[in-house]
Amino acid sequence: MTGILTGVRVLDLSRMLSGPYATMMLADHGAEVVKIEDAVGDTSRANGPFRDDDPDLEWAGYFVSLNRSKKSIVLDLKSDAGRETLRRLVQTADVLVENFRPGVMERLGLSYESLAEVNPRLVYAAIRGFGDPRTGTSPYANWPAYDVVAQAMGGLISVTGADRRHPLKAGPGIGDVFAGMVAAFGILAALRAAEATGKGQFLDVAMYDAMLSLCERLVYQHDFDGSVPGPEGNGHPLLAPFGLFPAKDGMVAIGVVDDAFWCILAEVMACPEAAKDPKFATRAARRANMALVNQSVSSWTAQYAVSELTTLLGGRIPFGPVNDIAAILADPHVVARGMIQTIPHADPDKQSWRVAGNPLRFTANPAPEPTTPPRLGADQALASLSQLPTVDTKALRNAFGAFATGVTVITTRQSDGTPRGFTANSFTSVSLDPPLLLVCLAKSAHSCDVFSTASHFAVNVLSEAQKDLSGLFASQSPDKFLQCNWSSGHAEMPILTGAIAQFTCARHRLVDAGDHLILIGRVEGFGTRTGQPLGYFRGNYFSIGLERDLVEAAAAAGSRIGLILAREDGVLLKVGTTGQLSLPLASSPKPSLEALQAELASQGLQPEIDFVYAAFDDRQTGGHAIYYHGRVAGKIPSEYRVVPLMTLPGVALANAAEAQMLARFAADFRNGTFSIYHGNETTGSVRKVSVP
């Protein structure tokens, strides 16, 4: 089962409750959460309680509950090696969470700013007692804090208890838990921003602030009526009856806000006249007579057992029994909602653990089954594998630009290792640093779910001799890989034998795009071989390699052969004896592409040719003109210039057709989509061709 956060990678440096609770919320829904621990481990590992079948005290309930479905590696962040490993892990992470005091990570040389240089998309979440100076310096910034401190300073304890002389701390660690929930929300919001902008950010949550926001009523009460709210006991300062009321064998909760509910309660209490009595009929009246209302309801509820009150009031007014854990475990609601989750024990011969489940429910992405919490350092292999595969960006650029993108087959392996693949008409290069490419997945495709959740995939660019493979992988044949030759490449991805190029990628991002999904991959390995790609246009396959034959035939008929060679954001032009500019042309009387390439190479230039960019009849000369698209490297000799594309409209060219063609080239360059022109020197048609 795939969680809604599958593909999100979180580095969790936090300890105890606030940070681990935030990352638990993420892990429960499919995020890969990797705990970064020191040699002793998260403090909660030793907190207990421990079961009787655990004499070595390995599995504390505190730790099991908060750290299910996570991984663990041990790093000494005080060592150079440990810090370097963390930086490598950050390269592939989406989120980092820590709950140290301000300055700890800075002193380790691992500040947000330094890690953002490693990964600009990183969302860095810090949960501190009193916040981080980046967003507002507290006078208590360096104070340590736990739940009880946050409850006390944030106002919760001031309104909990019977009276001001007997304040009470709330039982659960609300000061930590609520801060963790706020952090989880903030992380998802920052991830959404990073998806849109490509930039991460620092997220700051102060436990004090979180508690104050939880106790929001204190602020508006004081502002509106000048009061200083005190302990509320089991009631409510503004509503009645609203609180806890006694039963023969326990307590029940009743919350009446609307007058309609008061009428129902009055009827059940056999006091229908109370519904119309001016002292009780309205919310304001009941508040004014709060003591009398609460006393009347208490006297009535005390006559009945909890089960009897449940029969009388359940489902009719806001009502519920005060449950202890025994009652909760027996409650059919808890069973129906799956709110008690079973965690597999690390020892399969021992009884599983039970913990509180995650309250979030998604219809399309149910939470995956929780997995066993990690032993300390159980996933240490992640530390040694954290170095991203090294990619030669120059070689990758050459591979991306080696051909006009033709038909491709995208391959992967599903969760059981079975190879899967489908035919796509192209892929698109996105970035060299980091090395990224993208492919599009139709949401209606049978393999969409497999590819959208796969950790890796491969792009196989078919050769002109592999037309049958294109049809095979476009079909619904269940045994595609039995009908072709292939091998396992990097990350065990299926690589088709004979493909002229292959790019193996780790999943980087998945982006919704209408009836398609855009799958962005980070290139981890690639290779090319000599050959021509298989093209596809308007329902028909074609061989891109045929263009060389056409050029040779045209050359024999006296054609002009030239090159449009890009260099960064400019184009190479030749300077004539009179200072006029023109594109590089092959020498007559028998012009050829090879001769033109050789001529440029003799002058220290390194042209790389992609495809025919324009082919047209030149009525002024009676011949043909064929221009290739490509790139050029090397030192520019004095008789050539690289002219910025943005200045081309103001550059005088010797040939009007070349000027018109370069104007189109400049537009294609800006849009990133190139096209082939066919016609004459003034009018013709344009057919687009994708070039990575």
Specify the DSSP class assigned to residue 318: S
Closest listed residue to residue 460, CA positions, set 490, 415, 430: 490
Known active-site residue 347: no
Phi, psi (degrees; rounded to nearest 5) at 650 = -100, 5
Catalytic residue among 176, 204, 209, 668: 176
Cβ atoms 33, 10 nearer than 8 A: yes
Cα–Cα distances (Å) from 312 to 37, 225, 248, in that order, read: 53, 38, 15
Reduced to 3 states (helix: H, G, I; strand: E, B; else coil), residue 684 is strand
Instruction: Kindly tell me the number of DSSP H helices and DSSP E strands found in the chain.
Output: 22, 30
Residue type, 74: V
Contacts of 60 (CB under 8 A, 6+ apart): 44, 45, 46, 47, 48, 49, 50
Tally Cβ neighbours within 10 Å of residue 631. 18
Q: Is 397 exposed, middle or buried (0-12, 13-18, 19+ CB in 10 A)?
A: middle
3-state helix/strand/coil string of 263-304: HHHHHHCCCHHHHCCCCCCCHHHHHHCHHHHHHHHHHHHCCC
Helix (H) or strand (E) holding 513: strand 501-513
CA distance 165 to 167: 6
Please give the structure tokens belonging to residue 206.
């102060």
**Angle of helix 174-197 versus helix 18-28 axis, rounded to 10:** 50
d(CA 502, CA 506): 13
Q: Are 533 and 464 in contact (CB under 8 A)?
A: yes
Please say whether the beta carbons of 183 and 105 come within 8 A. no
- What is the 3-state secondary structure of 6-41? CCCEEEECCCCCHHHHHHHHHHHCCCEEEEEECCCC
Instruction: Give how far Cα 648 sits from Cα of 573, 644, 658, 667, 682, Å.
Output: 11, 7, 11, 11, 18
Residue 598 zone, left/alpha/beta (φ > 0; ψ -120 to 50; rest): alpha
Helices 306-313 and 259-268 cross at an angle (nearest 10°) of: 120
Across the strands, what pairs with 518?
440, 511
Burial of 339 (0-12, 13-18, 19+ CB in 10 A): middle
Alpha-carbon gap, residue 298 to 247, rounded angstroms: 8
Residues marked as catalytic: 176
